[in-house]
């Protein structure tokens, strides 16, 4: 394990060439997080036999000051990483051991990982569901070596993934009949989809704020999303490099009036749907269905192999808060990927216990403040 010493493009090129590239491991995402209190520490593992990178991790480090403590402590987080061939048992065991040692050397409370290691595919209990032996083996090794399933699951554990390799007719045929009907209905009623540019960013945030207020979820302030979109060079790119991550929001309009939008990100042959927003106006015209179909077509045009719809329930039943959203995503013809989720290695058990007791109260307070700020930004408070 060694610190990476190259430039941003070299880092993105490196992780794009490894088995599990993800946009949250890019240099650009790390730069966003650095503006909000994190320090980026990219790390690389090299193969002794070939002297070439075999694994990488964009480690994010943050100093915290728990109440009642004068010293500043650290937490380490590797979003959607580390990036390696998790089926290579000696490699993964070496990487995990190095991360444990690194956390101790840094005086960290813990190091958190949440790689996209599959536990299974499909909804549990469904005819087409299957389990993944690699994920089961990784989970067992983590438990054996003192890693804990994290009470703070920052990213979604499960998601819906759409295969973009078939032709468009086959992609449409995979969808549920109602979804295809709604796509055609939106087209027939005059919904139009266009790519957004930097001039649209304020509009995108306002629609996102309206959506969060209506649907009861918490979002960050406008400056955060502006930073994300601008860092990823928001705008239409006709011939992008697969190793250069970028963002391209799409806006659905009815009679020239924006009514819904989605924020897409592309990297290393993968497309990601991170943020979705809509207004109450013209919802009967099904703009969200057409938006997702155009997103799939656009991602395919840009050479992406799959489209990650970013989030599915932890428990696949109607009691889960994501159930309604999941039913919409399921209609688009994707398959469910279930992963091992986030795991913590506790380098300081006493402080970890304190941290996990305090964190829920801090998060509850932040959510309450976040909702109030969002309402104020809309002029509703």
pLDDT digits (tens, 9 = 90+) for 53-108: 999 999 999 998 755 454 678 999 999 999 999 999 999 999 999 999 999 999 99
Is residue 363 over pLDDT 60? no
Q: How many separate domains does the chain show?
A: 2
**Encoded tokens for 276:** 């979705």
For range 306-329, the mean pLDDT? 93
pLDDT at 234: 64
Range of the domain at 281: 165-304
* 193 plus 137 within the same structural domain: no
- Tokens found for residue 271: 């497309």
Residue 360 has pLDDT above 70, yes or no: no
* Strand-pair category, 191-195 with 158-163: unpaired
Is the domain of 193 the same as that of 291? Answer: yes
Section 21-29 average pLDDT: 97
pLDDT tier for residue 381 given thresholds of 50, 70 and 90: very low
Ranking 74-83, 140-149, 275-284, 333-342 by mean pLDDT, the lowest is: 275-284
Residue 331: inside a domain, yes or no? Answer: no
The answer on 209 and 234 residing in a single domain is: yes
pLDDT in tens, 226-264: 999 999 976 556 656 778 999 999 999 999 999 999 999
* Confidence check: pLDDT of 357 > 90: no
321 inside domain: no
Burial classification of residue 370, based on how many CB atoms lie within 10 Å of its CB (0-12 exposed, 13-18 middle, 19 or more buried): middle
10 plus 143 within the same structural domain = yes
pLDDT in tens, 174-201: 999 999 999 999 999 999 999 998 999 9
Q: What share of the chain in percent tops pLDDT 90? A: 78
Report pLDDT for 115. Answer: 96
* pLDDT tens, residue by residue, 103-160: 999 999 999 999 999 999 999 999 999 999 999 999 999 999 999 999 889 999 999 9
Q: What is the CATH number of the domain that holds 279?
A: 3.40.630.30
Q: Are 265 and 326 in contact (CB under 8 A)?
A: no
Half-sphere exposure of 240 (CA within 13 A, CB side): 27
pLDDT at 358: 72
Q: Is residue 294 part of a domain?
A: yes
107 lies in a domain? yes
Q: How many CB atoms lie within 10 A of CB 50?
A: 8
- Same domain? For 52 and 139 the reply is yes
Residues 79 and 8 in one domain: yes
Contact (CB, 8 A) for 204 and 263: yes
pLDDT of residue 378: 59
Q: Please check whether residues 148 and 171 belong to one and the same domain.
A: no
Residue 7 has pLDDT above 80, yes or no: yes
Domain contains 358: yes
Whether residues 62 and 88 share a domain: the answer is yes
Assigned domain for 314 exists? no
- What's the CA gap between 21 and 80, in Å, rounded? 9
How high is the mean pLDDT of the chain? 90
Region for residue 369 given its phi and psi (left: phi exceeds 0; alpha: psi -120 to 50; beta: otherwise): alpha
Residue 320 lies in a domain: no
Q: Is the pLDDT of residue 48 over 50?
A: yes
One-character DSSP codes across 49-60: TT-SEEEEEEEE
Alpha-carbon distance 36 to 47, whole Å? 34
State whether 142 and 177 are in the same domain. no
Mean pLDDT of the 162-173 span: 97
Which long-range contacts (C-beta less than 8 Å, at least 24 apart) are formed by 368-371?
Answer: 370/218, 370/219, 370/220, 371/212, 371/213, 371/218
Residues 96 and 9 both lie in one domain: yes
Q: Are β-strands 147-149 and 343-346 bridged in parallel, bridged antiparallel, or unpaired? A: antiparallel
């Amino acid at each position: 394990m060694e610190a990476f010493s190259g430039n941003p493009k070299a880092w993105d090129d490196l992780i794009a060439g490894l088995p599990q590239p993800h946009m949250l491991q890019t240099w650009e995402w790390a730069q966003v997080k650095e503006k909000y209190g994190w320090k980026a520490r990219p790390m690389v593992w090299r193969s002794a036999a070939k002297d070439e990178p075999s694994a990488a991790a964009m480690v994010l480090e943050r100093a915290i000051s728990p109440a009642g403590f004068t010293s500043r402590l650290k937490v380490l987080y590797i979003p959607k990483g580390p990036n390696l061939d998790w089926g290579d048992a000696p490699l993964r065991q070496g990487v995990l051991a190095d991360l444990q040692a690194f956390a101790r050397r840094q005086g960290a409370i813990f190091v958190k990982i949440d790689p996209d290691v599959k536990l299974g595919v499909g909804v549990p209990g469904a005819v087409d569901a299957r389990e993944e032996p690699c994920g089961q083996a990784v989970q067992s090794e983590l438990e054996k070596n003192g890693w804990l399933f994290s009470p703070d699951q920052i990213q979604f554990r499960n998601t819906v993934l759409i295969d973009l390799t078939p032709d468009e007719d086959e992609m449409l045929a995979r969808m549920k009949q109602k979804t295809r009907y709604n796509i055609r209905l939106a087209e027939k009623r005059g919904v139009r989809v266009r790519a957004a540019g930097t001039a649209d960013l304020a509009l995108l945030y306002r629609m996102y704020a309206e959506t969060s207020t209506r649907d009861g979820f918490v979002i960050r302030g406008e400056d955060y999303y502006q930073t994300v979109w601008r860092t990823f060079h928001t705008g239409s790119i006709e011939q992008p490099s697969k190793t250069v991550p970028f963002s391209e929001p799409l806006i659905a309009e009815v009679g020239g009036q924006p009514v819904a939008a989605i924020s897409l990100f592309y990297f290393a042959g993968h497309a990601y749907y991170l943020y979705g927003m809509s207004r109450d106006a013209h919802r009967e015209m099904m703009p969200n269905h057409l938006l997702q179909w155009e997103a799939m077509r656009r991602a395919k045009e840009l050479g992406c192999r799959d489209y990650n719809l970013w989030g599915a329930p932890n428990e696949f039943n109607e009691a889960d808060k994501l159930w309604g959203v999941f039913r919409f995503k399921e209609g688009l013809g994707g398959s469910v990927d279930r992963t091992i989720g986030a795991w913590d290695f506790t380098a300081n058990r006493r402080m970890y216990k304190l941290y996990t007791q305090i964190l829920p109260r801090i998060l509850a307070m932040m959510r309450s403040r976040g909702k109030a700020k969002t309402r104020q930004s809309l002029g509703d408070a």
